[in-house]
Structure 1
Amino acid sequence: MKTLQTLLCTLALVLTAQFAQAQTATTDTKVKTKTSGETLKIKTSAVCDMCKARLEKSLAYEKGVQSAVLDVPSQVLTVTYRADKTSADKLRAAVQQTGYDADAKPADERAYTRLPDCCKKTNEVH
């Protein structure tokens, strides 16, 4: 009888360990697919830290965007995104709708006029 109990306990432990290991493997796979993404660099017309905050916040609300970081001195916005959720053209359009140029595409005029004066292009005549 003791041998049967010992055998059942051992079997239960082995099955529990295998189940736990299978759960861990599934979780690891999900994490890997969520963190992988495309990177896009967009040349913008942003000129100050207010522009940086505005662009990064705006892009954070775009579907599929994992991160958006603007380097103010170079005016380059680096966006990491999931290609199955959005595209480079949609991200450029989001930058334009925020009021900034996106590569060779000009900013949305209406959004640009709503920007604070410090965020407007420096070569513009007022």
Structure 2
Amino acid sequence: MKLLLLLLAPAIMFASERTVTMKVSGNCGSCKKRIVKAAEAVDGVKDAAWDKKTKVFTAVFDDGKTDSASIAAAIVKVGHDVEASKAPDAAYTKLPDCCQYRDRTHD
């Protein structure tokens, strides 16, 4: 048991909580649910939020388990552009009409 603790101690000591903030495209409450759900499905994400008005997404995560690029990739995969990457058209076109933000906006 002591050996196991000694082996795991460095990983535990160096893992820390990080916060990432990025712009994520979307229009409505359905977008918010989809964006947050995609982010929270990433192992290591502790909390996620998206503001419909400002389009700002924030996530708190364990950097020993994931990173901001993995979180962004999960969001892009469900059809939402992030500031550094555009969602594939195949994912974007599967979004409901109210969520298709590229050519129109909704309240």
Greater percentage in helix: 1
Determine the structure 2 residue equivalent to 1:63.
43
The higher relative CO (CA closer than 8 Å, separation ≥ 6) is in 2
Unaligned runs of 5+ in 1: 1-32
Which digits, 9 at most, give the CA deviation of each residue in 1:91-113, with x for residues without a partner? 11111101001113101221111
**Which one has a bigger Cα radius of gyration?**
1
Moved over 2 A (4+): none
Q: Distance in 1 between matches of 2:81 and 2:102?
A: 13
Q: How do 1:1-126 and structure 2 match up within 5 A?
A: 37-121=17-101, 123=103
Q: CA RMSD in A?
A: 1.5
Q: How many correspondences in the alignment?
A: 90
Q: Distance in 2 between matches of 1:47 and 1:119?
A: 6
Determine the structure 2 residue equivalent to 1:12.
none
- In the superposition, the TM-score normalised over structure 1's length comes to 0.66
Q: Distance in 2 between matches of 1:37 and 1:50?
A: 28
Per-residue deviation, 1:122: 5.1
Which letter does structure 2 place at the counterpart of 1:121? Y
Q: Distance in 2 between matches of 1:94 and 1:86?
A: 11
- In the superposition, the TM-score normalised over structure 2's length comes to 0.77
Per-residue deviation, 1:37: 1.2
- Percent identity reads 34
> Would the aligned equivalents of 1:98 and 1:108 in 2 still touch at CA under 8 Å?
no
Q: Distance in 1 between matches of 2:50 and 2:78?
A: 14
